Amino acid sequence: MNKETVVGVLGAGTMGSGIAQVAATYGHEVKLFDVSTSALDKARTGHLRIFKRLVEKGRMEAGEAEACGSRISYVSELDALAPCGFVIEAIVENLKIKQDIFQKLEALTGPTSFLASNTSSLSIASIGAACEHSERVLGVHFFNPAPLMPLVEIIPGIATSDEAVTTVRNLIDAWGKKTVLAKDTPGFIVNRVARPFYGEAIRQLEEGVADAATIDWAMREIGGFRMGPFQLMDFIGNDINLKVTETVFQAFFYDPRYRPSFTQQRLVEAGRLGRKSGQGYYNYSEDATTPAPVEDPQLGEAIFSRILVMLINEAVDAVFLNIASAEDVDLAMTKGVNYPKGLLSWANERGLDKVLSQLQELQEEYGEDRYRPSPLLKRMVRQNKRFFE
Ligand SMILES: NC(=O)c1ccc[n+]([C@@H]2O[C@H](COP(=O)([O-])OP(=O)(O)OC[C@H]3O[C@@H](n4cnc5c(N)ncnc54)[C@H](O)[C@@H]3O)[C@@H](O)[C@H]2O)c1
């Protein structure tokens, strides 16, 4: 595939419109399809606004911006995707609807075209199963906002051919993205490894270790994260975050490590969805006062290190289970969700033995499987090894 390849994007929502912008900026002719004409109109207006702003900021020549805009056509007939050599689907997260559209796509596009899904939580195997030629179906998981976030997870399904993986990966690399290869398992890399960022923060809130403002302060000021977990959950939406947590928990056959929390469920039930509803963990109304954190460095370090060792354990276990390479796990967390350091490099820095002993203390204290250290972490400590050596 190259610039001449016509790219189809299904779904003109948050992700689809961003992906269409990326492809058009690289030089492809793009067919952006949606069943909703208002979504198409919104995407078109959005693209025009973004390209105009890029010109104003001096990041793009006016002629180039115009050319990019004119390369995208907004279509409401699936048939318009017939000339596409590569299609990325970013429609509603529903297996039946996705399978249905993949079947139609397969019949519509040529036998050498590649078909990708941007799904966050469905398996690529299940989407590919709807196709006769599932060897050309794979996952390409962008992060929001797609034009700005550099990471794309590439996920081969059971039946995906090596050719499909290599060809699609090369193209997305050429678009200027950082690609990582992930196994077709729940949450792929980022949405799996990041669970304790939320889960262990909520757990500490529930235990009364500290309030949300203090936990957020510890993660920002001591951990160096851009946003604290409660700020971030309010930003993402507690309904969306709960849904991801529930999906991952079920998909892992109810592994207690991923168990959702009552705290989050109650917030969602009460309509406290976060910024979008005006209240979540924090109150966003104009007259609300921002709660002050308890800026105690010792307490902060305890909060941060408990979340960090759980994150590291998740990252190590992903390597142990061959979900991705150590390099890709670190790249995914720094480029997909802006972590200040790769978790495995962080583990090296803090000392794998210290990380292991903190996890063992937690497991001993709570007696919960949630805190079980990854066998790889134990093995590496026993063998006195570090990552990337
Ligand atoms: N939002 C994120 O942060 C994010 C990040 C990565 C991946 N994803 C995944 O990307 C996909 C899209 O998510 P989104 O947030 O852009 O959703 P969205 O709701 O913003 O957009 C989805 C679009 O798909 C359209 N649509 C629905 N059914 C359709 C059909 N049958 N045919 C054509 N269009 C149809 C809708 O009209 C809507 O415009 C989902 O699979 C989601 O899991 C989302």
Average pLDDT over residues 287-309: 96
Is the minimum distance from the CB of 11 to ligand 1 under 6 angstroms? Answer: yes
Report whether 60 contacts 69 (CB < 8 A): no
Among this protein's residues, is 285 annotated catalytic? no
Quote the CA–CA distance of 374 and 256 in Å, as a whole number: 14
Would you call 153 a catalytic residue per the annotation? Answer: yes
75 Cα to the center of ligand 1, angstroms = 16
Share of the chain above pLDDT 90, in %: 92
**Would you state the pLDDT for residue 112?**
87
User: Is any atom of ligand 1 closer than 6 Å to the C-beta of 12?
Assistant: yes
Q: Which of 9, 14, 32, 190 to mutate to test the pocket of ligand 1 (most atoms within 8 A of CB)?
A: 14
Of 72, 52, 70, the C-alpha closest to 62 is: 52
SS3 for 8? strand
Return the SS3 of 245: helix
188-229 confidence digits (pLDDT tens): 999 999 999 999 999 999 999 999 999 999 999 999 999 999
Alpha-carbon gap, residue 253 to 248, rounded angstroms? 9
**pLDDT above 90: residue 1:** no
**What spacing in Å lies between the alpha carbon of 34 and ligand 1's midpoint?**
10
pLDDT, one tens digit per residue, over 154-196 is: 999 999 999 999 999 999 999 999 999 999 999 999 999 999 9
Number of the ligand 1 atom closest to the C-alpha atom of 12:
39
Alpha-carbon distance of 200 to 304, in angstroms, equals 10
Q: Which residue bears the tokens 């700020």?
A: 231
Q: Which two tokens stand for residue 186?
A: 């729940």
Q: Which of 113, 118, 123, 191 is catalytic?
A: 191
Which amino acid does the sequence have at 196?
A: P
Checking DSSP bridges between strand 114-117 and strand 137-142, what pairing results, if any? Answer: parallel
* 231-247 pLDDT, tens digit each: 999 998 999 899 889 98
- Choosing from 29, 153, 200, 314, the catalytic residue is 153
Domains located in the chain, CATH noted = 7-181 (3.40.50.720), 192-382 (1.10.1040.50)
